[in-house]
Amino acid sequence: QKDLGVTYTMADYDRAVKEKAKIEVNNPSDLCLTCSFKTEGSQKVDLTLSNAETSAIQNFSNSTKGPIKNIQIKFSGKETEASFVTDFTYQGIEIKYPVYVKGNFWNTGSKSFYISVEKLEAGNLSIPGSLKKRAEREFMSYVNNILSGIDGLSVEKVEINNGSVNFVGDIPTKAYGF
């Protein structure tokens, strides 16, 4: 796995979710990328999350039930890098590969993003253009589908900075799995 130099603790998660976003979450692992969850309420926010806080949110949400582990997310300049290990079973085959992604994203609506992948690596392999574009489309569709189901979410602006991401809009006040 490519080390992006991002370290995090549960304190980073708590600071991001409880103090900055002020979202009530009973069990972070119920909010994994493949989990079914519900949200309630809505609150206006203008918040900035560090690399460590963003990585902590994804790690503690996916640590037990999620399809990815050991997640590092790094914002630098106007680009985003992510490094993680896939950890799931597909048609009886265990899929565990280190993945590295570099690219950019921006909001295209109140619950949608466009994702542009510059570089995609699985293991030691660099994924070529046509497969990279397909992965980009699939991931963008997946993310936007999740966002469309989040009650209380309305994205006004997302801005990548060096070492952080700034979010302006509405977010739920409570999130829980079912």
User: Residue 137's CB: how many other CB atoms inside 10 A?
Assistant: 12
Q: How far apart are CA 132 and CA 136, in angstroms?
A: 6
3-state class (DSSP) for residue 52: helix
Q: Which of 20, 62, 45 is nearest to 167 (CA)?
A: 45
User: Residue 3's CB: how many other CB atoms inside 10 A?
Assistant: 9
Q: Is the pLDDT of residue 106 over 90?
A: yes
3-state class (DSSP) for residue 116: strand
Strands 154-161 and 174-177 turn out to be unpaired
Q: How far apart are CA 57 and CA 177, in angstroms?
A: 15
**What is the rounded average pLDDT of the residues 118-138?**
94
Delimit the domains of the chain by residue range. Answer: 10-177
**pTM for this model (two decimals):** 0.94
The pLDDT of residue 78: 87
The pLDDT of residue 77: 87
- Summarize pLDDT for 18-42 with one digit per residue, the tens: 999 999 999 999 999 999 999 999 9
Q: Is the pLDDT of residue 171 over 90?
A: yes
Which residues, 6 or more positions from 162, have their beta carbon under 8 angstroms from its beta carbon?
A: 75, 76, 77
Task: Place 178 in a pLDDT band, splitting at 50, 70 and 90.
Answer: confident
The pLDDT of residue 157: 96
